[in-house]
Chains A and B, each alone.
Chain A
């Protein structure tokens, strides 16, 4: 498969807790992005981290990138019921215009 892998595949937490999901990829990249998808609808961009960055923050989101391990993590702090969705990482394969998406983490936040 050309897809990356997300871990865990599914995650269920209580409102107010933090959620961490991980992504591993296979090739050299220019950047890595995280997207959210609600109920099989279109994906919404959350955050982009470039290959020369190690950490990035946006509101309640914190993303890390370790290019030596070909992995990234997304942390959502103080989760809300509205954060319930599937989360995907996407990498831009170097030298191409192809974005490769992971298999996704299904997050459920219980009120």
Chain B
């Protein structure tokens, strides 16, 4: 059984650029959620995907978008990067949407200069 894998682990971008982060869910999991964790804070829910559809979204602007693929892997895209987007981005998968344990990846640390 493989866990959740995320790539890249670290990346540096400049303000205004775009970034794509990738996540492979744990085997047997069909739901993927993305979280943003600023330094010293708890993770904040960005959105969740179930069967390739977004079925929940947190308080993030539309420049944060995502995709889920038929194999349940997922991408998080952020356009027009701002300095405040610097954070650890965490992907979590679960067996079904809601009421289940989340299995997290190690995260992608984004620095925006």
Contact = CB atoms under 8 A, between A and B. Distances in A.
A101 B97 contact: no
Nearest to A99: B45
Contacts of A48: 101
B74 to A, nearest CB: 14
Contacts, number: 69
Interface stretch (A37-45, A55-63, A77-85): A37-45
A92 interface: yes
Interface residues of B, number: 31
A42 B43 CA distance: 10
Nearest to A43: B104
Nearest to B57: A98
Interface string A70-111: 000000000000000000101010001111111110000000
Interface residue range, chain A: 20 to 34
A2 interface: yes
B56 A40 contact: no
A3 interface: yes
A90 B90 CA distance: 15
Nearest to A103: B42
B66 interface: no
Interface string A22-53: 00000000110101000011111100100000
A97 B97 contact: yes
Interface string B73-113: 00000000000000010101000011101111111010000
A43 B59 contact: no
A43 B98 contact: no
30 contacts: A2-B59, A3-B42, A3-B44, A30-B98, A33-B101, A35-B102, A40-B37, A40-B107, A40-B109, A41-B107, A42-B105, A42-B106, A42-B107, A48-B101, A90-B102, A92-B99, A96-B56, A97-B31, A97-B33, A97-B97, A97-B98, A98-B45, A98-B56, A99-B33, A100-B45, A101-B42, A101-B43, A101-B44, A103-B41, A104-B41
Given A88-B42, A92-B98, 7 more contacts: A31-B99, A40-B37, A40-B109, A42-B107, A96-B56, A97-B33, A103-B42
